[in-house]
Amino acid sequence: MTDFGTRLRAAMDERGPLCVGIDPHAALLGRWGLGDDVAGLERFSRTVVEALADQVAVFKPQAAFFERFGSRGIAVLERTVADARAAGTLVLMDAKRGDIGSTMAAYAETFLRKDSPLFSDALTVSPYLGYGSLRPAVDLARESGAGLFVLALTSNPEGAEVQRAVREDGRTIGATMLAHLAEENAGATPMGSFGAVVGATLGDLSSFDLDINGPLLAPGIGAQGATPADLPAVFGAAVRNVVPNVSRGVLQHGPDTSALRSAAAAFAEEIRAAVAG
Ligand SMILES: O=c1ccn([C@@H]2O[C@H](COP(=O)(O)O)[C@@H](O)[C@H]2O)c(=O)[nH]1
């Protein structure tokens, strides 16, 4: 399979970079007139995929909202991933896995082994057991043509306590993660498969080197207060590699398919205008 960085760049060029989250919050299920149950979960996820698959580069299912229903929720997640991929849209599984290396290998098998029912084009991972603990996921992603998004500078205010902590060598933890990713992506064209999560909510990030030759997933637009117009100021020259994520900001317009499509199209247009400068 062509590597994830190449497939993502092609999708971004063709459809624009918007990533829509599939986050079936209980409140959203209620707002859509659905039950907070497995049937509601399935209807919600199906509707989002059918409405938006041709319009977005990436879907980002949030695993937590499926896992809370146990094995039947996981089955819905499997079908959602399969439907999205069959429709030609990339799937970034937001499961934020991270553990000691030997356990990380099992998480990697779940989401990054090609014949797994939850195989996804990319996976979010947490490096806070040490970047090296992610090695089994990096290796399997390379083997499978998949990608990773490593939590570097998250969109929530609490993240700063960890990510902006300064190491003995004077670098912050977040900057260190970005440097690891730049190493993974060295020499890749058109860009590498190993991305960073960097919140769109964070204001000026010019003290960080965001030039990792890989994608930057930017959550925080919409419900968390950031807007597409913020992207150039936050990301500077790296804005070309930004994959902006919107979840509730789009999903709140369902279940009406045309309202979902209009909301996604409006975000996509705002992002296009902001990135074009
Ligand atoms: O730093 C991060 C990393 C991940 N997320 C996830 O993105 C979506 C955001 O949802 P909104 O409804 O658009 O706020 C959600 O799944 C988070 O878990 C993040 O927000 N920040």
Query: What percent of the chain lies above the pLDDT cut of 90?
Result: 99
Q: Residue 85 — pLDDT band, cuts 50, 70, 90?
A: very high
For ligand 1, is residue 244 a contact (CB within 6 Å)?
A: no
For residues 155 and 179, is the Cβ–Cβ distance under 8 A? no
Longest Cα separation, the chain = 54
pLDDT greater than 90 at residue 153: yes
Q: 247 vs 101, 115, 192, 227, 259, CA distance in Å?
A: 31, 28, 25, 13, 14
Q: 269 vs 3, 158, 218, 225, 239, CA distance in Å?
A: 27, 31, 16, 18, 15
What are 155-213's pLDDT values in tens digits?
999 999 999 999 999 999 999 999 999 999 999 999 999 999 999 999 999 999 999 99
Quickly count: other Cβ atoms within 10 Å of residue 178's Cβ: 23
| Domains of the chain, earliest start first | 4-276 (3.20.20.70)
Residue bearing the CA closest to ligand 1, atom 21: 155
What are 100-126's pLDDT values in tens digits?
999 999 999 999 999 999 999 999 999
How many Å lie between the centroid of ligand 1 and the Cα of residue 169? 31
